[in-house]
Amino acid sequence: MTTSTQTLDKPLEDTTTGDDTPKMFHYVRKNKIAESAVLGNYVVALCGETFPVTKSPKPDSPVCPDCKKIYESMKKG
């Protein structure tokens, strides 16, 4: 399976804290974001976490360190 950084979008949230604030955001395939948001399908992040898309990140949102590491290694190669 070939993965391109062009198919990834800004991170999307995985889980939330008690006040509905995401703990961290994950990188997922861009083409799956709208489908998940509309249909409620689960997406798979680069780190392997699965979750439905319910929120978009804001600048300086916390990012999953595993997703960030994988994403940065993909940009180099």
The conformation of residue 13, written as its DSSP 8-state character, comes to E
Query: Are the C-beta atoms of 31 and 7 separated by less than 8 Å?
Result: yes
pLDDT value for 59: 85
Sequential pLDDT tens for the chain (77 residues):
444 444 555 555 545 555 555 578 999 988 898 899 899 999 999 999 999 988 888 888 899 999 999 999 987 65
Query: In b/e form, how buried is each residue of 39-68, taking b as 16+ CB within 10 angstroms?
Result: eeeebebbbebebebeeebeeebebbebbb
**What's the predicted TM-score (pTM) here?**
0.67
Cα distances (angstroms) measured from residue 34 to each of 10, 24, 39, 60, 74: 13, 19, 8, 22, 23
Q: Where are the domains of the chain?
A: 5-76
